[in-house]
Chains A and B, each alone.
Chain A
Amino acid sequence: MTALEQSDEAIVIIGSGAGGGTLAYELTKRGIPVVLLEAGPYLRNEDYVNNEWEAFNQMAWLDPRTTSGSWRIARDFPNLPSWIVKAVGGTTTHWSGATPRFKAHEFATRSTYGRIAGANLLDWPITLAEMEPYYDKAEIAMGSTHVHGRKPLPANNNYKVFANGAERVGYRHYSTGPYATNAEEYDGRPASIQDGFNFQGDKHGSKWSTLVRELPRALATGLLDLRPESHVVQITHNAAGRVDAVLYLDAEGNLQRQAASMVAVAGNSIETPRLLLMSASPMFPDGLANSSGQVGRNYMRHTTGSVYARFEEPVRMYRGETMAGVIADESRHDPDRGFAGGYYLETISLGPAFLASFADPGAWGRDFTKILDSYANTAGLWVIGEDLPQETNRITLNSAVTDRHGLPVPNVHFDDHPNDIAMREHGYRQAELLYEAVGSIGAHRAPPYPSTHNMGTSRMSEKPEDGVVDKWGRAHDVPNLFVSDGSVFTTGAAANPTLTIVALAIRQAEYIAEQLKSGGI
């Protein structure tokens, strides 16, 4: 690994997950040196553990955060708004693997859905047609099943219940993917052994993550200076309004300065706006790149909910790939259902420890314990759909609460839009019908978990007044500042976000490389 001088102006990427890790690889493979700052430690596949709470405490971003708003998370888990990772590889080490693409109209929701009261809808400045080549590249990189010749994963027990129920209620677009975990050896990584611990890091390395693919390859170029346990505090700028350095705390808590010719922020949709807000200065009083006032706003988390159904016969949902089951029939836009946008149904499974914590926080008594008593005979699925951007759903700095470094913690404010509530109700109902069709004897509706999909707090827009970055993820206000994670999502679509984050990062890397060559940055 090449160590770059802190005084040399470097290309600095903040965050090593789906966006930052991909960007680092795509730049270094083109011969461009990169400093990659990662707040978390360097965990390897062999460090992971097959235990829910132990893995959570090992991997999760546990720095304090606060919450407000009418979402149930603010009551049940006031300091845990999201369930994301603080480690090398970011949340790609925790994700389960579903990789549906966005649909054409999901890049143009304002003009497709029309005006919806309370929603801050806006069309993306890019189209599906522009994204398609990058979706191809991302799917090939990640080894998505069902596409580009990749074999589908076999049906596990939870999928058998899910798919049979789907067929019986008339759904047709169900399958075990697309899913970025190997059904057979691919790209130097082995086939899944179906150990069932997707959320806990995947010890086997069958699941795509930047930890197993992009980062080792970037390091092999000799051009990546990866610095784990480097928590960025501020991005500074010069008199011309260009960013010139990044200040970060090292593992010992010492403040370091890395000079920068360009900075790409990819800290996930809570830390990215937090950092831009913490980088406010007399020249950028409302936060860096925030002349639109949209930094931190339009926070989206997908409309989610789970249904756990009980059967007379054993299911053992915990065996095998957690989310290798996707139903797309409800992902269409059909306002006759009573809401705009669509949703997917995807298999999900939790162990008893997490099911007890997340199935119905606050509940106790026999209604609660029967959820656990039926564990072996339970099948589970997750509703995941598009939630509408709202300006008031936002990340702000909570100056009254500080983290262990004395920095203001982010506050996450969220209220469901009526459209989100209508969609969730529809999803719950369809899931119950699906399970009834294969003989369920009862079902439990679990509320949304702490957010695993965090999007939209530095959104892309055609016009600088509508958003934070342009169609390349380049800040409207600061020419050598980029955002490279799901924060740039103008709207959230129904699909799991990781594939689109990776596709955007590949596309952005191409643009940055060209701009560096032509002197455009």
Chain B
Amino acid sequence: MVFPAKYPQLNDTSLTDDARSVLIRVLRVAFPHDSFPDGPYERTADTIMKAAEESTWFRVSLTQGLLTLAHLAGGDFRDLDEDAATSVLRRIESTEFFGFIRRTTVLNLYDNEDVWEAVGYEGSSYEKGGYVNRGFDDLHWLPEPRIETYDGGPIVEIAPSFLLRPTNGSSGTHASGESRAAANIDTNTQPGATSAEHAEVSK
């Protein structure tokens, strides 16, 4: 195995087929979907390798990362089972190498019809007339709910328990806009004495 050169200008390390195959295994372990065929992972690996071609920094970190995975794996990373391979990836998850793979995968793996079909998403719908006649309301395992506004009276906007509290000022009396003008309101935002109820929150 050839390690990348020390100086970027000397580094024309190209990612080999072997490296690509390790990368595909990394993707399978980091983003395991039992229902996904190999296609989406291969596609995503190629996207990552193409992105790496365009950035020296990503290329060297990707190349170096894929080569040295074997060191942590104590052999070929591809030979590890999912649990062992996941443990190896957990150890490197904060590296630039893994971050680059993770970000690029999240952005690309799930942005394709091959994956949408596997997870049950139908993609673009406008040209098919939307879902108005194609099941936007076909859920039948729950009763039909009310869609109208509740007719049992308006919402209580300020909790009665708050309004009933003893206050020595105007706090909590503004259930309607009109009452504001009449009350002598403390709107001071500066530190100092205040007659307002202190609705302090602690968590």
Report which A residues bind B (CB closer than 8 A): 49-53, 103-105, 107-108, 110-117, 120-123, 127-130, 146, 152-157, 159-161, 163-164, 167, 172-176, 192-197, 203-204, 313-316, 318-320, 328-329, 331-336, 338-340, 351-353, 355-357, 362, 364-366, 368-369, 372-373, 375-376, 418-419, 421-422, 425, 438, 462, 466
In the complex, are the beta carbons of B183 and A332 less than 8 A apart? Answer: no
7 closest A-B pairs by beta carbon, nearest first, are A376-B120, A193-B130, A334-B159, A195-B130, A163-B145, A127-B177, A129-B177
Shortest distance from the beta carbon of A95 to any chain B beta carbon, whole Å: 18
In the bound complex, CA of A220 to CA of B142 (Å): 48
Q: Give 9 A-B pairs besides A52-B111, A114-B194 with Cβ atoms closer than 8 angstroms.
A: A104-B175, A116-B199, A155-B144, A192-B130, A194-B130, A194-B132, A318-B121, A328-B155, A352-B115
Which of A193, A197, A353 contacts B129 (CB under 8 A)?
Answer: A193
In the bound complex, CA of A174 to CA of B152 (Å): 12
A/B pair count, beta carbons within 8 Å: 260
User: Are A369 and B199 also in contact (CB < 8 A) when A174-B150, A313-B141 are?
Assistant: no
In the bound complex, CA of A174 to CA of B150 (Å): 7
In the bound complex, CA of A117 to CA of B172 (Å): 18
Which of B122, B149, B203 contacts A422 (CB under 8 A)?
Answer: B203
In the complex, are the beta carbons of B139 and A314 less than 8 A apart? Answer: yes
Contact size class for B? 35 or more
Shortest distance from the beta carbon of A323 to any chain B beta carbon, whole Å: 14
In the complex, are the beta carbons of B30 and A357 less than 8 A apart? Answer: no
In the bound complex, CA of A156 to CA of B139 (Å): 8
Shortest distance from the beta carbon of B56 to any chain A beta carbon, whole Å: 21
Interface centre among B135, B138, B142, B175 (most CB of A within 10 A): B142
In the complex, are the beta carbons of B201 and A422 less than 8 A apart? Answer: yes
In the complex, are the beta carbons of B31 and A160 less than 8 A apart? Answer: no
User: Are A319 and B135 also in contact (CB < 8 A) when A111-B180, A160-B142, A357-B106 are?
Assistant: yes
In the complex, what residue of chain B is closest to A312 when comparing beta carbons?
A: B141
In the bound complex, CA of A111 to CA of B80 (Å): 63
User: Which chain B residues lie closer than 8 Å to A203 at the CB level?
Assistant: 126
Which of A49, A154, A338, A373 contacts B201 (CB under 8 A)?
Answer: A338
In the bound complex, CA of A334 to CA of B201 (Å): 12
Which of B115, B158, B180, B196 contacts A332 (CB under 8 A)?
Answer: B158
In the bound complex, CA of A154 to CA of B133 (Å): 12
In the complex, are the beta carbons of A316 and B172 less than 8 A apart? Answer: no
In the complex, are the beta carbons of B32 and A173 less than 8 A apart? Answer: no
Shortest distance from the beta carbon of A53 to any chain B beta carbon, whole Å: 5
In the bound complex, CA of A105 to CA of B170 (Å): 12
Which DSSP category, helix, strand, loop or mixed, fits chain B's interface?
Answer: loop
In the complex, are the beta carbons of B174 and A115 less than 8 A apart? Answer: no
Interface assignment of B125: CB less than 8 Å from any CB of chain A = yes
In the complex, are the beta carbons of B149 and A146 less than 8 A apart? Answer: yes
Shortest distance from the beta carbon of B155 to any chain A beta carbon, whole Å: 5
Interface assignment of B162: CB less than 8 Å from any CB of chain A = yes
In the bound complex, CA of A307 to CA of B125 (Å): 25
Which of A104, A122, A152 contacts B177 (CB under 8 A)?
Answer: A104
In the complex, chain B residues 104-146 whose Cβ is within 8 Å of any chain A Cβ:
106-107, 109-111, 115-116, 119-127, 129-132, 134-139, 141-146
User: Which chain A residues lie closer than 8 Å to B194 at the CB level?
Assistant: 114-115
User: Are A338 and B174 also in contact (CB < 8 A) when A351-B121, A364-B30 are?
Assistant: no
In the bound complex, CA of A115 to CA of B115 (Å): 51
In the complex, chain B residues 149-203 whose Cβ is within 8 Å of any chain A Cβ:
149-150, 152, 155-159, 161-162, 170-172, 174-178, 180-181, 183, 185-187, 189, 194, 196-203
Shortest distance from the beta carbon of A437 to any chain B beta carbon, whole Å: 11
In the complex, are the beta carbons of A120 and B130 less than 8 A apart? Answer: no
In the complex, what residue of chain A is closest to B198 when comparing beta carbons?
A: A114
Shortest distance from the beta carbon of A243 to any chain B beta carbon, whole Å: 29
User: Which chain B residues lie closer than 8 Å to A318 at the CB level?
Assistant: 121-122
In the complex, are the beta carbons of A366 and B32 less than 8 A apart? Answer: yes
User: Which chain A residues lie closer than 8 Å to B135 at the CB level?
Assistant: 157, 316, 319
Interface assignment of B16: CB less than 8 Å from any CB of chain A = no
In the complex, are the beta carbons of A159 and B145 less than 8 A apart? Answer: yes
Which of B125, B132, B134, B185 contacts A108 (CB under 8 A)?
Answer: B185
Can you list 20 pairs linking A and B with CB atoms under 8 Å apart? Answer: A50-B124, A104-B174, A114-B196, A114-B197, A116-B198, A156-B137, A172-B152, A174-B145, A195-B130, A203-B126, A313-B139, A316-B139, A339-B201, A351-B121, A352-B110, A353-B110, A373-B35, A373-B119, A422-B203, A462-B187
Interface assignment of B93: CB less than 8 Å from any CB of chain A = yes
In the complex, what residue of chain A is closest to B125 when comparing beta carbons?
A: A195
In the bound complex, CA of A112 to CA of B178 (Å): 14
In the complex, what residue of chain B is closest to A163 when comparing beta carbons?
A: B145
In the complex, are the beta carbons of B158 and A112 less than 8 A apart? Answer: yes
User: Are A373 and B150 also in contact (CB < 8 A) when A112-B174, A195-B125 are?
Assistant: no
User: Are A336 and B161 also in contact (CB < 8 A) when A204-B126, A376-B119, A419-B201 are?
Assistant: yes
